[in-house]
A and B are shown apart, each in its own frame.
Chain A
């Protein structure tokens, strides 16, 4: 007799491993020499064909794998290239799952609106935070770079109860961060606002009235766990 639950667990584990290694599909040559072997896309399709629930594939396969990547990134065991290819693999899997959640919403921990503040075009830090938080189960709304305060306010209107993340790399654009936080606080005093970026510090975050500061993406995920109660 075939042990279906063990088969399911095995394929979910394989999906998680492919996310960790960044193997998107069978033509992705990561790890090197693996062309022709199934990647996230093939394994997600196989899991769904076998009757595995989309929620399980998402949580126990894709997000589980990305969660490990986030921890290894925080521990300096992997670096940005590895995180990016893992995120690419995870997203490919999520896209396959999306139609299965058409009638309900994709399960998530909540909405996270993120953008680089006015006057600042740097986005690699913002993108890494988005990747790690998406891997932690947050639904990301990336406003891009050079975002006005109005753009953040409109996004909060569109996503009530969201958390907002503001990023800045330049010391000069940190001032714009302060202006945006003040405006968000005035219009939506209940909204959790996180700030980060190379020159940003915890003291600065406190001074401008942000809810919290994260030095890196993993700290952002941990901080969200503390600040936001999850239903």
Chain B
């Protein structure tokens, strides 16, 4: 079984030889623990490979992970005061909807940077995903400012819908370009949850954003792609909807939610692509905590045949390498129990 086949088996609930793993680390962690991270990658290779996308020269300015300012391909300016993590937009481009008429989304960049994608995907033994996430809600926040946009959601003015549709049109064009490549999955990413609940009501989400996501999923499925989605926070009230529209894998902070309930309601219906707890366990826990967390994740969220889960970690500055290794070792040993008989 290749690494790619293993991930696809997990996503489709087919028998597999071990639980797939996927982890990424932000530069702040890799700088702190370069040797440990190299050791982890050598011992426990990720089953996901880079898709070969390269951001076109001049499309962005600065380093998103450095202290200072970074300008992304939409022209949104991120301020950062913390090395190794991404910053925040503090001065939105579209502070007033009157500014929207003068703004053009980066349609000229759609499809660029993808020259090496098919080559990388064809050469990869692992699973590949599109590199640029579709993030309608986050992008609207970056353009409009978070608080402005949240108030717009209550008001739902014509300007709000114009902005939403502009972002969506761009996203569909971008998705179309990805669907023409050989990546295995497309990638949606919006943070919908706080630590305890949703940022907006489930009904508002269904009314304003679910149709966008449904478009992305149907477009991806027509091209034979899996669809992977990330959201931070407690999103349990959205998962039935995500399953309904056809999302294959959800990368969620499952420890913000009742994992038992998640398992009872959704195990086997969607793939839980992590996350192992990066707020407490990875930075502040012990290896014993890490082993316990991996076992709980496996116990509650795995589907039939042990599939529908991916041992995933988003590794940030402050995470302890020994906890990362304990998680991966535990999933490996669970694999032995589950699959080697």
Contact = CB atoms under 8 A, between A and B. Distances in A.
Given A30-B155, A172-B317, A198-B195, A124 B147 contact: yes
Contacts of B317: 171-172
A122 B87 CA distance: 9
Contact of B157 (A29, A81, A120): A29
B199 A121 contact: no
Interface in B78-101: 79-82, 85, 87-88, 90
Contacts of A173: 82
Given A119-B82, A146-B81, A172-B318, A30 B154 contact: yes
A32 interface: yes
B150 to A, nearest CB: 5
A30 B152 CA distance: 11
B200 interface: yes
B81 A82 contact: no
A80 B199 contact: yes
Given A30-B154, A80-B199, A81-B150, A171 B79 contact: no
Contact of B318 (A79, A88, A171): A171
Nearest to B141: A124
A76 B85 CA distance: 31
Contacts of B200: 79-81
Interface stretch (B38-46, B106-114, B277-285): B277-285
A120 B67 CA distance: 12
A121 B90 contact: yes
B151 interface: yes
B195 A215 contact: yes
Contacts of B82: 119-121, 170, 172-173
A119 B81 contact: yes
B147 A127 contact: yes
Contact of A81 (B90, B194, B204): B204
Interface in B245-292: 278-280, 283-284
A216 interface: yes
B196 interface: yes
A148 to B, nearest CB: 11
A29 B160 CA distance: 13
Interface in A83-112: 84-85, 88
A79 B316 contact: no
B151 A170 contact: no
Contact of B147 (A84, A146, A216): A84
* Size bin of chain A's contact surface: 20 to 34
B61 interface: no
A199 interface: yes
B79 A216 contact: no
A191 interface: no
A171 B80 contact: no
B333 interface: no
Nearest to B85: A170
A85 B155 contact: yes
Q: How large is the interface on B (under 10, 10 to 19, 20 to 34, 35 or more residues)?
A: 35 or more
Contact of A172 (B147, B154, B155, B316): B316
A201 interface: yes
B87 A121 contact: yes
Interface string B206-218: 0000000000000
Nearest to A78: B201
B242 interface: no
Nearest to A29: B155
Nearest to A32: B156
A65 interface: no
Given A146-B81, A170-B85, A173-B82, A79 B198 contact: yes
B36 interface: no
B210 to A, nearest CB: 16
Nearest to B232: A198
Nearest to A73: B197
B120 interface: no
B280 A81 contact: no
Contacts of B174: none
Nearest to B319: A171
Contacts of B279: 171, 198-199
A80 B82 CA distance: 27
A85 B151 contact: yes
Contacts of A78: 201
Contacts of A30: 154-155
B154 A85 contact: yes
Contacts of A80: 150, 194, 199-200
B146 interface: yes
Which 8 pairs, one residue from A and one from B, show the smallest C-beta to C-beta distance?
A81-B154, A199-B279, A81-B153, A121-B88, A85-B154, A171-B283, A119-B82, A81-B150
24 contacts: A29-B155, A29-B157, A30-B154, A78-B201, A79-B201, A80-B199, A81-B150, A81-B152, A85-B155, A119-B81, A121-B79, A121-B80, A121-B81, A121-B88, A122-B88, A127-B147, A170-B85, A171-B283, A171-B284, A171-B317, A172-B317, A198-B194, A199-B279, A216-B194
Given A76-B197, A80-B150, A85-B155, 6 more contacts: A79-B197, A81-B152, A81-B153, A84-B154, A85-B151, A171-B278
